[in-house]
Amino acid sequence: GAVVSQHPSWVICKSGTSVKIECRSLDFQATTMFWYRQFPKQSLMLMATSNEGSKATYEQGVEKDKFLINHASLTLSTLTVTSAHPEDSSFYICSAPLTVNSPLHFGNGTRLTVT
């Protein structure tokens, strides 16, 4: 069964609005979660590392003020796309390791479409 749950699975929003995506670890604690983005026919690109109780670490080129990450508990990380624009339309996927050095388990992703 799924060990990482992501919600919503898809969302359509108007340009200029904000969208929040939730990522939950099921039956395990995730001090670290990872947010990826995938554009059509491209690979999954790491956007940021979400750290429980501290600030997220963003990859080069990812705007931290646009992609707000909150990891307030050991089982929940949220990604908020603020003032979304059509170019933010993408597939956003979160992931977490069961243990520190174990392979990542991914959520089912969120398809964001900004009109």
Under the criterion CB under 8 A, does residue 61 sit at the interface with other proteins? no
Least distance from other proteins to the Cβ atom of residue 26, Å:
13
Q: Mention every residue, 6+ apart, whose C-beta is less than 8 A from residue 11.
A: 19, 21, 110, 111, 112, 113
95 binds other proteins (CB under 8 A): yes
- For residue 88, give both structure tokens: 């933010």
Element at 7 (helix H, strand E): strand 4-7
Q: How far is the CB of 20 from other proteins (least distance, A)?
A: 18
Q: Is residue 4 within the footprint of other proteins (CB under 8 A)?
A: yes
Per CB under 8 A, 11 contacts other proteins: no
Tell me if 89 contacts other proteins by CB under 8 A: no
Closest among 13, 9, 33 to 109, alpha carbons compared:
9
What lies within 8 Å, CB to CB, of 108 at 6+ separation is 2, 5, 6, 9, 93
| Contacts (CB under 8 A) with other proteins, residues 19-48 | 32, 34, 36, 41-46
Residues in the chain: 115
Q: Which is nearer to other proteins, 32 or 80 (by Cβ)?
A: 32
Q: Which residues of this chain interact with other proteins, rule CB under 8 A?
A: 4, 6, 9, 32, 34, 36, 41-46, 49, 93, 95, 97, 100-109, 111
